A and B are shown apart, each in its own frame.
Chain A
Amino acid sequence: MSIGPSEHPNRAPGKVFADGMVAALRSVFFYVLLGNYVGIGALAYEFGFSLGWMVLSTLLVWAAPAQVILISTLGTATLVEVALAVTLSSVRFLPMVAALVPMLRHEGGRQRDLLLPMHLTAISVWVEGMRLLPARPREQRVAFYNGLGVGLIMAAIIGSAIGFYLAARLPPLFAATLLFFTPLALLMSSARNSRTLLDGLAFGLGLVVGPIVAAQKIGLDLMWTGLIAGTIAYVVHRVREAKAKVTP
């Protein structure tokens, strides 16, 4: 296998970073993120946040479900409730980063070089990284992943600015359509990622339990919904596993 110039081990780090950004531009996720964040930007506008805050949230949080939770609940819920909901929504970052690190490690690599890739990790960045990193020499992977992450985060920022701007200027019909994009996108992506009964059941129960719990006006309704519906789905999953073991 011949090595092309872009995979040459001595390629300058700046060029490798640029390679990553080019990969981001060519990725389908660039446009998915762009579209997703148009909806989220519109949401931020309608809930009264500034564009600066929206961009800051993308830079600091970089997780669509967490950002949607922040936007839709910060105005009304207490900080503790929001913190709990955000904490629960972001657990998947743990295994993602844990799976990423072995791919980035190389001889002479500094530990703090892993911090930026860690922060840039989101589902799209991670999926593309897992796909593209094996082809690159180890010494280049951190720079490449950083370029990839920065490129994709830029898609989100551009999308959110467009959504914010549009929501402010479009007539109500289009603004409503824009706002509705976020719940639709969250539903479809959760449905597509649900491979097991546990996932599907948890989501379905969450849809039903959510409004019921919210109507009780007890506060922390997002957290309770997650705990109640998620635990029921988990218990059902365990019961089925136990039955499968007993009846061969």
Chain B
Amino acid sequence: MSDWQPTASLEMLKTRARLLSRLRAFFTEKNILEVQTPVLSQAGNTDPSIETFITQQHEDRKHHIQPSFLNTSPEFAMKRLLAAGYGSIYQVTPVFRQDEQGVRHNPEFTLLEWYRIDFDHHALMGEVNAFVRYLAEDLLTLERSQFYSYQDAMIKFANVDPFTANTESLKAATEQAGIEVIGLNESNSDSDRDAWLDLLMSQVVEKNLPKNCPVFIYDYPASQAALAKIRKGTPDVAERFELYINGIELANGFHELRNAGEQAERFHRQQLKRKELSQQGIPADHHLIAALKHGLPDCAGVAIGLERLLMVLTGAKHINEVLTFPFDRS
């Protein structure tokens, strides 16, 4: 058996190390502070589409068992630093997500996350673009970056208007693209529509995006806001963006929601959804709510999957090529 051996080549690990040092140079030059926040937390992620690893410690060495949660993202702790007035910050940290294993997934992976005070999502997209181009410099030649609103991208690449189409038309668009799907409901509820939109985005739009250049998609449906601010309009949109290169999702960013009441309400809705889906109950992070009540400065934040970025820059076909030991060998 050769399972003891690493799956990444020495050459790849050298590239990874160089990427990390260039990345740090980028942030140092902009005077953005590197921080480290806990990986193990007393609160988890209530998002129903993400499964937290839960561990435990024996509180009194007898019966009381205190669940602890491995971070799925450093977002909540970093926002508490922002609320404390520590200014723009970045972090490179391992995160953990259950049931995520595949060509582009490993249950443990590395996130680069950063926050910029007084930025909105457009300003941050500009910085992410500069960052990716800076890192790509001697590894991958990139053509001019493209920017599409979510609505324009759906219309252009999946032939359907995401804000006016009902579930039936979304279904028709997937069929037109030759996709046979099993298990999606056909009601017009937000969560069912969103599932069809996610299908179109991940199976149709991603494949048809221009290649060899960064592609930014921004202003998502309000129902897919996650932790982004919602901008009133017709229709309302979430000030959220994603970055794709060669059809691979690399980054997700927000003009951050600052309203504590709305954040608490979103947590609550997610918890209800988890219950409805018979998922594990997860306590919401009350520290984040308290920090938002105290006051989060106007800011935008983004998370980039570092292994994905390394895959794109080196042309690796499988995430195992950029990991020392994938979960199977960990």
Q: Do A and B come from one complex?
A: no
Contacts from A to B (Cβ < 8 Å):
none
